[in-house]
Amino acid sequence: MSKIVEETAKEAFGKVTDEPILEVKNLKTYFPISSGKWFNKETKYLKAVDEVSFYVNQGETLGIVGESGCGKSTTGNSIIRLVEPTAGEVWFKGENIATMKSREFKPFKKNIQMIFQDPFSSLNPRMHVFDIIAEPLRTNKMYQGKDLEQRVYELMDTVGLDPDLANRFPHQFSGGQRQRIGIARAIAVKPELIICDEPVSALDVSIQAQILNLLNRLQRDLGLTYIFIAHGIPAVKYVSDRIAVMYMGEIVEMADKDALFKATLHPYTRKLISAVPSTDPKKRTIGEEQAIADELNQGESDVVGCKFADRCPLARAHCREVRPDLRQLRSGHFVKCHYPLEQEALEENV
């Protein structure tokens, strides 16, 4: 990394250090799918996450974007082992948590918390808000009696909920307030890393902004690190320092936020960004020629070459034969493409 880049990176990220808090190496999560024949011995696999590698630095937000079915949620779930990864390593604070026994994993689990998409189904409808937030504190035996009460009220206050409402049930709250309850529960045990899986997708825009701003404030105040998984590109751009783009179980591009948008290297990233409608009616980008159907081929693919080649406007014969590797073209800018969009960048680094 050149000195100038290093300095600007530090300026931009404030408290962010170059120390990765989490490093994922060649993570694979495969799901067996039945082949339809009864005594067929050969099992086929759905490669939900296929050799994904990335790192997250202390104090930063890594956004993961992609379309439904690209494996972004499975990646998040595999990290905290809600889904057991098939292979690969997940290094968290110097330990490989992917292969640990579950008893060994427990103390680490406390340090990695999760915020889910749907605040309607991720909160127990029969529990008072107080107990929902207190549950992780009780499970981890962190607070008891008066201290516990104190801590729960404090947490509710931190996320902008009136502590007087502690004895209500989740259904008595609006979507945005429920998401705040979910956030209070996640930060209760003082985690270092929070995986936010589509935390605002189910919310109205005005409420989305409230939650995004709350997440930003908590990150600053509590020194949290986020993995922010979402399909809404503007929201990911708003909260993230670095962004990884996933396509069919693979990371196809990963870079600093600005680099990703201003010096896009992968054709899929460009397609994804250009598909987002601009909020300026004078800059309409969607034309009638875009009406042609072009679908993500789902599921078990035995594609030999680049998985995007079939949809890629720039694909050449080579792309269909050889799978590209994720390589670093500029400092911190990774791409998985034989013929990245900015050719000069390629020549510079050969």
Partner 1 sequence: MNLLEVKNLHTHFHTDRGLVPALNGVSFSIKKGEVLGIVGESGCGKSVTSLSILQLLGNKGKIEKGSIQFKGQELTTFTKKQMRKVRGDEISMIFQEPLTSLNPLIRVGKQIAETILLHRENYSKNQAKEHAIKMMKMVGIPQAEEKYSQYPHQLSGGMRQRIMIAIALACNPDLLIADEPTTALDVTIQEQILGLMKKIAHETGTSIIFITHDLGVVAEMVDRVIVMYSGQVVEENDVVSFFEAPKHPYSQGLINSTPAIDQGQKLEAIRGNVPAPANKPNGCPFHPRCPMASDICKTTVPKNTYFGKQEMVNCWLYDKEAKTS
Binding mask 232-271 for partner 1 (x = CB under 8 A): xxxx-xx----------------------x---------x
Q: Is 231 in the site for partner 1 (CB under 8 A)?
A: yes
Q: How far apart are CA 52 and CA 249, in angstroms?
A: 8
Size of the site for partner 1 (CB under 8 A): 49
- The closest alpha carbon to 334, from 266, 283, 267, belongs to 266
Start-end of H helices in the chain: 3-13, 72-79, 102-111, 129-139, 145-158, 175-187, 205-222, 233-239, 257-262, 267-275, 317-321, 343-349
Tokens of 345: 């960048």
Binding mask 289-328 for partner 1 (x = CB under 8 A): xxxxxxxx-x------------------------------
CB-nearer residue toward partner 1: 22 or 212: 212
Q: Is 222 in the site for partner 1 (CB under 8 A)?
A: no
Q: Is 279 in the site for partner 1 (CB under 8 A)?
A: yes
Q: How far apart are CA 52 and CA 252, in angstroms?
A: 10
Least distance CB 287 / partner 1 (angstroms): 6
CB-nearer residue toward partner 1: 9 or 272: 272
Q: How far apart are CA 19 and CA 23, in angstroms?
A: 10
Least distance CB 291 / partner 1 (angstroms): 4
Q: Is 207 in the site for partner 1 (CB under 8 A)?
A: yes
Q: Is 11 in the site for partner 1 (CB under 8 A)?
A: no
256 membership: H or E segment, kind and range: strand 250-256
User: Site for partner 1 (CB under 8 A): which residue of 144, 150, 167, 285?
Assistant: 285
Q: Is 206 in the site for partner 1 (CB under 8 A)?
A: yes
User: Site for partner 1 (CB under 8 A): which residue of 29, 57, 210, 219?
Assistant: 210
Tell me the β-bridge partners of 87: 28
CB-nearer residue toward partner 1: 145 or 287: 287
Q: Strands 333-335 and 327-330, how do they pair? A: antiparallel
List C-alpha distances in Å: 84 to 42, 302, 320: 21, 23, 31
Q: How far apart are CA 227 and CA 243, in angstroms?
A: 10
Q: Is 87 in the site for partner 1 (CB under 8 A)?
A: no
Q: Which residues bind partner 1 (CB under 8 A)?
A: 67-68, 174, 176-177, 204-210, 212-213, 231-235, 237-238, 261, 271-296, 298
